[in-house]
Amino acid sequence: MNVNYMLSFIIVLALCLLSYLGGEAPGLRYLFGIAIPYLAIVIFIFGFISRVMGWARSAVPFRIPTTCGQQKSLPWIKPNRIDNPFSKSAVILRMILEIVCFRSLFRNTRMAFKNTKTGMRIAYDWEIFLWVAALAFHYTFLVVLLRHLRFFFDPVPFCIQILEFFDGFLKIEFLSNVIQVGLPGIYISGVILLAAVTFLFLRRIFSPKVRYISLPADFFPLFLIMGIAITGIMMRYFTKVDIVGIKEFTMGLVSFSPALPEGVGGLFYVHIFLVSVLLAYFPSSKLMHLGGIFLSPTRNMTADTRATRHVNPWNHPVKVHTYEQYEDEFREKMIEAGLPVEKKE
């Protein structure tokens, strides 16, 4: 039994129970439905900003990109413009690929020499699952997030309708016919999100090296997101929560005239509470890699350090051993060896 993930699991479970009870107990609904979400948003916004500002306040004394390809040097040698970016635009491209495609993570895929019966054989061993799962996770999370914007806009913006259309376009038709007539079309994003989170969790359990390095802080957000996804899916497909009521509630939240929804049940409170916890937890956790990646000096700087000078804001003077001191110490020997000196004495 691994104390790291059990601890996180128990905490998330306790949070679920707490909020479920909170949602069922009329006296606490105001707290769980309105006060905590507002508080979480405030913590998130201020926390996020102050964290990014904290990083931004630290100086960037040296330009230290990790160069992952041929430099730009002689005109007839083809430089790798993206992995050894010489210009700002190339850096932007590198960052886009990094942020949108997780390019460095993709490098984990590699060619391998497999030991088979017929001897050594070259095989392209795609250690690709981490990359695929990470992409699936982040993109479906984004889609789910965007979809939820429909609760905060009236009328629902066209682009969100389009997104829903394509997300729902992939709905699993037979389910709605076989299992339950009238089941709303399943958004594929929710399903993939849950699957990807589960994969990332299992990887932390079963991959020995990853398990060894994992902290409770690595499991906690995974369980939180799992909880959010599960409660969301439950409400949408199984308990059939009153969407109209929820929209009235969320619109109330954004228009700063909050009113508690009627008859939405404890599950909704669990959902919204876990989201609140995630938001509040976000700024003080590793999830801040969302902001940090933009500031990573090994990726976001140009690799033209020899062509344009980088200025260090705190370039402290240092004590040096000057040529004069050096010559003073070795003058005789230098003269004897026929080396030119400044002072002939």
Partner 1 sequence: MADDLPKADDLLNKIDHNNSPPTSWMDTPVNIRKGMYCYASSPKSVKYLGLPNARPWNPLDDDWKLPDNWKEIVFEGLKERLDKFRSFKVFMDICVRCGACADKCHFFIGTGDPKNMPVLRAELLRSVYRNDFTKAGNLLGKIAGARPMTLDVLKEWWYYFFQCTECRRCSVFCPYGIDTAEITIMAREILNLLGLNIDWIATPVANCYRTGNHLGIQPHAFKDMLDFFVEDIEEITGVNCEPQYNKKGADILFITPSGDVFADPGTYTAMGYLLLFQYLKEKYGFDVTWSTYGSEGGNFGFFTSHETMKRLNSKMYAEAKRLGVKWILGGECGHMWRVINQYMDTMNGPADFLEEPVSPITGTRFENAKSTKMVHIAEFTADLIKHNKLELDPVRNDNVIATFHDSCNPARGMGMLDEPRFVLQNVCNNFHEMPPGTIREQTFCCGSGSGLNAGENMELRMAGGLPRANAVKYVHEKYGVNMLTCVCAIDRAVFPPLMEYWVPEVDVSGLHELVGNALIMQGEKKRTTDLRFEPLPGMEDEIDE
Partner 2 sequence: MALAELIEQKKKAIINKWYEHVVATYPSDTARFLKKENDQFANPVGTTTMHSLDAVFEGLLNGADIETLSSDLDPVIRIRAVQDFTPSKAVSFIFLLKNVVRECLAKEISKHKNKKEIEKELDVFYTKVDGLCLIGFDIYMKCREQLLSFQANHIKDRTYRLLKKADLLSEVPEVGAENISPNV
Q: Within 87-106, which residues bind partner 1 (CB under 8 A)?
A: 98, 102, 104-105
Structure tokens, 309: 């000078």
145 binds, among partner 1, partner 2, none (CB under 5 to 8 A by kind): none
C-beta of 121 vs 289, nearer to partner 2: 121
Decide if 223 contacts 9 (C-beta within 8 A): yes
In the region spanning residues 28 to 57, those forming contacts with partner 1, defined by CB under 8 A, are: 51, 54-57
Q: Of 326, 141, 330, nearest to 232 (Cα)?
A: 141
Report the alpha-carbon distance of residue 206 to residue 329 in Å, rounded: 64
125 binds, among partner 1, partner 2, none (CB under 5 to 8 A by kind): partner 2
Q: CB under 8 Å to 140, separation ≥6 — which residues?
A: 189, 190, 192, 193, 196
Give the SS3 label for residue 148.
Answer: helix
Binding to partner 2 by residue 310, rule CB under 8 A? no
C-beta of 87 vs 207, nearer to partner 2: 207
Decide if 327 contacts 343 (C-beta within 8 A): yes
The residue within the footprint of partner 1, chosen from 83, 137, 163, 274 (CB under 8 A), is 83
Q: Classify 105 in phi/psi space as left (phi over 0), alpha (psi -120 to 50) or beta.
A: alpha
Binding to partner 2 by residue 147, rule CB under 8 A? no
57 binds, among partner 1, partner 2, none (CB under 5 to 8 A by kind): partner 1
Query: What is the closest distance, in whole angstroms, from the C-beta atom of residue 123 to partner 2 in the complex?
Result: 9
Query: What is the closest distance, in whole angstroms, from the C-beta atom of residue 299 to partner 1 in the complex?
Result: 4
Question: What mask, x for binding partner 2 by CB under 8 A, covers residues 116 to 145?
Answer: ----x----x--------------------
Kindly determine how many residues on this chain lie close enough to bind partner 2 according to the rule CB under 8 A.
11
Binding to partner 2 by residue 110, rule CB under 8 A? yes
Within 187-242, where are the H helices?
188-206, 208-213, 216-233
Element (H, E) at 131: helix 129-147
340 binds, among partner 1, partner 2, none (CB under 5 to 8 A by kind): partner 1
Please give the sequence-ordered ranges of beta strands (E in DSSP) within the chain, or none if there are none.
110-116, 119-125
Binding to partner 1 by residue 215, rule CB under 8 A? yes
Query: What is the closest distance, in whole angstroms, from the C-beta atom of residue 272 to partner 1 in the complex?
Result: 23
Q: Which residues of 158-178 are buried (b: 16+ CB within 10 A; e: fewer)?
A: eebeebbeebeeeeeeeebee
147 binds, among partner 1, partner 2, none (CB under 5 to 8 A by kind): none
Decide if 152 contacts 250 (C-beta within 8 A): yes
In the region spanning residues 307 to 336, those forming contacts with partner 1, defined by CB under 8 A, are: 307-312, 314-316, 318-323, 326-327, 329-330, 333-334, 336
The residue within the footprint of partner 1, chosen from 14, 64, 172, 175 (CB under 8 A), is 64
C-beta of 76 vs 212, nearer to partner 2: 212
Report the alpha-carbon distance of residue 182 to residue 63 in Å, rounded: 59
Binding to partner 2 by residue 333, rule CB under 8 A? no
Structure tokens, 333: 């020997």
In the region spanning residues 209 to 228, those forming contacts with partner 2, defined by CB under 8 A, are: 209, 211-212
Beta bridge partners of 119: 116
Binding to partner 2 by residue 208, rule CB under 8 A? yes
Tell me how long the chain is.
345
Decide if 84 contacts 70 (C-beta within 8 A): yes
